[in-house]
Amino acid sequence: MTDSKLPKGYKDMMEYGLVEALLGRRARRFFRGAEIPDGVFAYKSNYDHEPLTELEKMLVLAACAGNTSWHHMIQRAELYAPHLSNYAGAAGGRTFPSAAGFHTSKTFFTDDEGVYVLDNRDAPAFAERNEDGTLNFEDMVEEMKKQITKLQDGRLKFPPETPHIEAHNTWVVNHPGTLLVIPVADVAQHMILGLCYMLQNNFVLYDDINKCAIPGIEKYSNIVDINNVWPFTFVEQLCLTEATTELSISCYAGALMLNAIGLGGWMFDGISPFSFIGASGDPNVPGLGFRYDFKEDWAYPNPTGLEGVMESHCPPHYPDMRAAVEAVVKRKFGSGGPFNGETPGPWKDSKKVRSAAQVHDETFIECVAMQAQYVYDKFGKFPGTVPSIYVLTYLQAHHLDLEFYDKFYKPGAYLKTHSEHIEKWHGDK
């Protein structure tokens, strides 16, 4: 998009300071077209619902999950030096960090027009960095658009009522005119990558629920100290926490962008993740439509994937855990992977760097797969104690109704970017 076609506010956004964004971050929920029917903040907006423009949507999404060129890798790990540390799952980087470069999440979003997925998890760098380390933001946004797929027409369907939405959010979340961004993690894949990490660092799982070693683990005593164990509930909690951090920082980056553009909104977790992903059990609340399983001895349903869109690395999307592990290994070492010598990169000799990684051999794959299969067989799902697919943190963006804040708040409740947004981004209104 040429400068002549960009709104006046775009230049201000590009020059907006990080400290300003940090200090100005605040949940600003009341949007144009909103209504609080009762209580101390009872108020009905004098404006109609006003959806974000296409440009505004893309800028928010780019902040949440845009590609930021090549991942730089972890340069050394003492236990298997001089081989390159080979934990990462993706060669490209995004606007948010991911534990050891695992990058297992994809970004869904919905507005009045439809439900979409941004799938750039394994995308190569959209561009090489300039000599001063910069990238062209407009080019990044344009490239990102190519990686968006529309999944269905119309806003994501789930009712604005409890128990699907927490009581304090029913009046505001996913209403007409709003953009809702939903990063989703494949915790099953994260767990497989975690098992690879453990084996590379001389650890294996221990079943601390049933108080036993993984049957058959002694077969691998030639490659790992089988007495050097991590309790598997700890490993699963660690993987879930790492994946959740990935999702949350994605939303936080988007929240800072709201200030730079002058949009309202906030990051939050006040939606039932099961309703949102489609595992509520209510056919009238399809959510994202992910497949899920449920057993009597499980406290919650276990979502596993959306066919052809995002399938977690476990059955039924793979015939067994061996196949799921092989898919992860292919992601790491196959075409376009971070440890494939033919994948470009940020180094002067990228082929040499990427080829320095130790490839997971048959014994390594077999050991990881055996541990993963034990968990699946013992607990009926993988991971065994946390969800295979996970949603927690969301970002909503909308046009702020300044009149609400002028009525109830002292000056300073919103920023200069908010007060100037309509003029600078919608000059014809």
Task: Dump pLDDT digits (tens) for 144-182.
Answer: 999 999 999 999 988 889 999 999 999 999 999 999 999
Is the pLDDT confidence value at 58 over 80?
Answer: yes
CA distance 367 to 246: 27
Q: Which of 109-113, 148-152, 220-224, 280-284 has the lowest mean pLDDT?
A: 280-284
* Cβ contacts of 384 within 8 Å, gap of 6 or more: 232, 236, 375, 376, 378
pLDDT per residue over 358-408, tens digit each?
999 999 999 999 999 999 999 999 999 999 999 999 999 999 999 999 999
Within 13 Å of residue 308, how many CA atoms lie on the same side as its CB? 4
Q: Cβ distance 198 to 230 under 8 Å?
A: yes
Is the pLDDT confidence value at 77 over 90?
Answer: no
pLDDT given at position 261: 98
pLDDT confidence tier of residue 80, bands split at 50, 70 and 90 = confident
Start-to-end CA distance of the chain, whole Å, equals 22
> Which residue type is seen at 376?
Y
Is the pLDDT confidence value at 428 over 70?
Answer: no
pLDDT given at position 3: 60
CA distance 295 to 97: 34
Tokens encoding 288: 């994202």
Question: Quick one: average pLDDT of 321-330?
Answer: 98
Q: Cβ distance 15 to 424 under 8 Å?
A: no
Q: What's the angle, vertex CA 310, arms to CA 108 and CA 273, rounded to 5?
A: 55
Map tokens 């994946």 to a residue: 243
Report which of 97, 100, 88, 149 is spatially closest to residue 120, judged by C-alpha positions: 149
Compare 381 and 429 and report the one with higher pLDDT: 381
Question: Quick one: average pLDDT of 284-291?
Answer: 93
Which residues face 117 on adjacent strands? 108, 149
Q: Which helix (H) or strand (E) holds 291?
A: strand 291-293
Report which of 321, 330, 306, 310 is spatially closest to residue 90, judged by C-alpha positions: 330
Tokens encoding 388: 């295979």
Average pLDDT, the chain: 95
Question: Quick one: average pLDDT of 222-250?
Answer: 97
* Cβ contacts of 83 within 8 Å, gap of 6 or more: 77, 356, 357, 358
Domains of the chain: 19-425 (3.40.109.10)
CA distance 182 to 115: 10
Tokens encoding 209: 């629920």
Handedness of CA 410, 414, 416, 418 (dihedral sign): negative
pLDDT given at position 281: 85
pLDDT per residue over 95-114, tens digit each?
999 999 999 999 999 999 99
pLDDT given at position 5: 84
CA distance 125 to 428: 37
Q: Strand locations in 120-213, DSSP E? A: 148-153, 179-186, 204-207, 212-213
pLDDT given at position 277: 92
Give the burial class of 24: count Cβ atoms within 10 A of its Cβ; 0-12 exposed, 13-18 middle, 19 or more buried. Answer: buried
Question: Quick one: average pLDDT of 253-275?
Answer: 96
By DSSP bridging, strand 204-207 and strand 229-231 are parallel
pLDDT given at position 81: 85
Which residues face 303 on adjacent strands? 292
Is the pLDDT confidence value at 2 over 60?
Answer: no
Is the pLDDT confidence value at 1 over 70?
Answer: no
CA distance 348 to 277: 43
pLDDT confidence tier of residue 269, bands split at 50, 70 and 90 = very high
Identify the three-state secondary structure at position 222: coil
Report which of 403, 429, 421, 402 is spatially closest to residue 59, judged by C-alpha positions: 421
Is the pLDDT confidence value at 429 over 80?
Answer: no
Question: Quick one: average pLDDT of 18-26?
Answer: 96
Q: How far is CA 399 from the centre of its chain?
A: 24
Tokens encoding 75: 């340069």
Which residues face 43 on adjacent strands? 36
Whole-prediction pTM: 0.96
Is the pLDDT confidence value at 259 over 60?
Answer: yes
* pLDDT above 90 as % of the chain: 93
Report which of 393, 400, 404 is spatially closest to residue 419, judged by C-alpha positions: 400
Question: Quick one: average pLDDT of 172-193?
Answer: 97
CA distance 92 to 123: 6
pLDDT given at position 100: 94
pLDDT confidence tier of residue 79, bands split at 50, 70 and 90 = confident
